[in-house]
């Protein structure tokens, strides 16, 4: 039967893998996504912070971190992340406009 998936089931498995190998970034990405999908955003934030450090050129990880911070009423931290991102990618000024729309919503 299709359509019914237990999204919480892989979380303990991914957590154990990360405990055993904290440099398994593929699993870290999967775990962060599982946390978001299971409404555990506060657990996802430290993982995305680490992913931003490991993959500093990834717009996706920067963006997800900013969204999580805003969604969890951490707008000041999100703004700091946007500023860091804009220093690294000055041509991405549109990020500031999008961030302002998200934080005012």
What distance, in Å, lies between the first and last C-alpha atoms of the chain?
38
Give 20-62 pLDDT, tens digit per residue: 999 999 999 999 999 999 999 999 999 999 999 999 888 889 8
Residue 61: CB partners within 8 Å, gap ≥ 6?
A: 48, 51, 52, 55
The pLDDT of residue 3 = 47
Q: What is the pTM of this model?
A: 0.80
Which of 1-5, 52-56, 78-82 is modeled with the greatest confidence?
A: 52-56
State mean pLDDT over 1-30.
Answer: 84
The pLDDT of residue 88 = 74
The pLDDT of residue 85 = 78
Give the DSSP per-residue string, 27-48: HHHHHHHHHHHTT-HHHHHHHH
The pLDDT of residue 22 = 94
Q: Which domains does the chain have, with CATH numbers?
A: 10-104 (1.25.40.10)
| pLDDT for residue 4 is more than 60 | no
């Amino acid at each position: 039967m299709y359509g019914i998936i237990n999204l919480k089931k892989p979380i303990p498995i991914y957590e154990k893998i990360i405990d055993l190998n904290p440099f398994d970034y593929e699993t870290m990405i999967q775990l962060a996504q599982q946390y978001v999908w299971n409404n555990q955003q506060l657990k996802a934030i430290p993982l995305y912070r680490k992913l931003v450090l490991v993959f500093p050129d990834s717009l996706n990880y920067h963006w997800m971190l900013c969204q999580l911070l805003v969604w969890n009423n951490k707008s000041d931290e999100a703004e700091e992340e946007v500023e860091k991102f804009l220093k690294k990618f000055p041509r991405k000024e549109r990020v500031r406009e999008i961030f302002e729309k998200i934080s005012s919503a």
